[in-house]
Structure 1
């Protein structure tokens, strides 16, 4: 009974809300005669999406691939650096200003610089943009989780003569998992957004960002919104994948009752 209620809240309710929102959107566009350059109707967007599905999928694979590389790279570096900062307090204190500086670097300024460094004919710049965007929430959330260990647990590991790594492995990291996965859910969306935005400022021809600008510049607004829909779907796939991973890991680490 509880599982069916949870399923209704997490799946059925958002789907119903989405359908209602789309119906209202379509109704407003038709009744008020809203021009396509303002916002196309959902029916027009859906028609363009279906007619150009192979192109949308191709662009989604490029953007999603860059976002995935950036997500994995940024998450690994962020988690490892957070563990080191938690173990060595000096590194935590010295890196605070650097982390703050990285957090405020705008993508519009970073992407062209990376294209100049690694070349505009490869995807490296876009992947690094996504990795940098992912690094910040992963580092901050993981570090906060690593600091949540109760003193009594640390004292117990000290009494057992555990090394700092053993304390981190068996006590600190399991307690930090909720914070880590919170950061991962945030980072999964940021990876897609960052990879998408980086496509606006150069790099290889391909990806949903380039497709959106091309369609909009040719006044094909329904097609541009179809590519936007493709980007939304990519973001949802990333978010749902990280959510599924979180539930899988937390179930395995849940204590038996």
Structure 2
């Protein structure tokens, strides 16, 4: 009974709510004769999505690939810098201003600069945009988690004459896993959004961002929304995979196990 209730709350209830929302959306579009350039109905979007599935999948692979590279680079860099900052207080204090500056850099200004540096035909600029967007939440959440270790655990490691790195590897990092994955879950969505936005500013045609602008400029708004649906699915896949990895990691590497 308890497992059935859990399945209902986590799976069936959100699906039912989504179906109701889509039905209301379609009803409002038909009832008020809302034009497609304002917002098309779910049926029109679904029709275009199915008719252009191969193109959507191709764009999803390009955008998702850039987002994945950015997520890996930004995530690994954020975790490593957070560990270094937690071990060396001077670096923590000196890097605070730099991290704050990076956090407020607008993607719309950064993407053209990176295209000039690496070339608009290369995917490097889009991947770096995603990596920068990922770095901030991962770094901040990881550093916060590394500071949450109980003093008794640190004292125990000192009794065992453990080095700072041994303490970090065996106690601090495992204890910070929930914070690390919170940052990664936030960053997984940001990676997709950043890669998508970066595609608006030039580069080879093929990504979802470029496909959205091309369809919208041709007044094919239902197709543009079909590409938006593809981007939403990519973001959900990134989030769900990150959540699944978090469940496995926290179950096997908890400091209490």
Shorter-chain TM-score bucket reads: over 0.9
After TM superposition, give the deviation of residue 3 of structure 1 in Å: 2.9
Q: Report what 1:166 is aligned to.
A: 166
TM-score, normalised by the number of residues in structure 2: 0.98
Q: Report what 2:103 is aligned to.
A: 103
Q: List aligned pairs for 1:193-204, cutoff 5 A.
A: 193-204=193-204
Q: Report what 2:17 is aligned to.
A: 17
After TM superposition, give the deviation of residue 162 of structure 1 in Å: 0.2
CA deviation vs aligned residue, 1:82-124 (integer Å, no higher than 9, x gap): 0000000000000000000000000000000001111111100
Whole-angstrom distance in 1 between the partners of 2:5 and 2:194? 35
CA deviation vs aligned residue, 1:1-25 (integer Å, no higher than 9, x gap): 3333222222111111110000000
User: What secondary structure is seen at the aligned counterpart in 2 of 1:219?
Assistant: coil
Q: Report what 2:154 is aligned to.
A: 154
Q: Number of aligned pairs? A: 256
Q: Report what 1:65 is aligned to.
A: 65
Q: Report what 1:123 is aligned to.
A: 123
Q: Report what 2:185 is aligned to.
A: 185
After TM superposition, give the deviation of residue 253 of structure 1 in Å: 2.7
Q: Report what 1:236 is aligned to.
A: 236
Q: List aligned pairs for 1:135-154, cutoff 5 A.
A: 135-154=135-154
Q: Report what 2:5 is aligned to.
A: 5
What is the RMSD computed on CA atoms of the aligned residues? Answer: 0.9
CA deviation vs aligned residue, 1:20-79 (integer Å, no higher than 9, x gap): 000000000000110111100100000000001110000000000000000011000000
User: What secondary structure is seen at the aligned counterpart in 2 of 1:40?
Assistant: coil
The unaligned stretches of length 5 or more in structure 1 are none
Whole-angstrom distance in 2 between the partners of 1:64 and 1:11? 25
The unaligned stretches of length 5 or more in structure 2 are none
Judge which range, 134-143 or 197-206, deviates more.
197-206
Indicate whether 1:31 and 2:21 are aligned: no
Q: In structure 2, do the counterparts of structure 1 residues 249 and 4 end up closer, same or farther at CA, with 3 Å as the change threshold?
A: farther
Indicate whether 1:132 and 2:132 are aligned: yes
After TM superposition, give the deviation of residue 203 of structure 1 in Å: 1.7
User: What secondary structure is seen at the aligned counterpart in 1 of 2:176?
Assistant: helix
Whole-angstrom distance in 1 between the partners of 2:193 and 2:247? 24
Q: List aligned pairs for 1:195-214, cutoff 5 A.
A: 195-214=195-214
Q: Report what 1:77 is aligned to.
A: 77
Q: Report what 1:94 is aligned to.
A: 94
Whole-angstrom distance in 2 between the partners of 1:180 and 1:3? 28
Whole-angstrom distance in 2 between the partners of 1:3 and 1:112? 51
User: What secondary structure is seen at the aligned counterpart in 2 of 1:228?
Assistant: helix
Q: Report what 2:175 is aligned to.
A: 175
CA deviation vs aligned residue, 1:129-150 (integer Å, no higher than 9, x gap): 0000000000000000000011
After TM superposition, give the deviation of residue 204 of structure 1 in Å: 1.7
Whole-angstrom distance in 2 between the partners of 1:85 and 1:3? 42
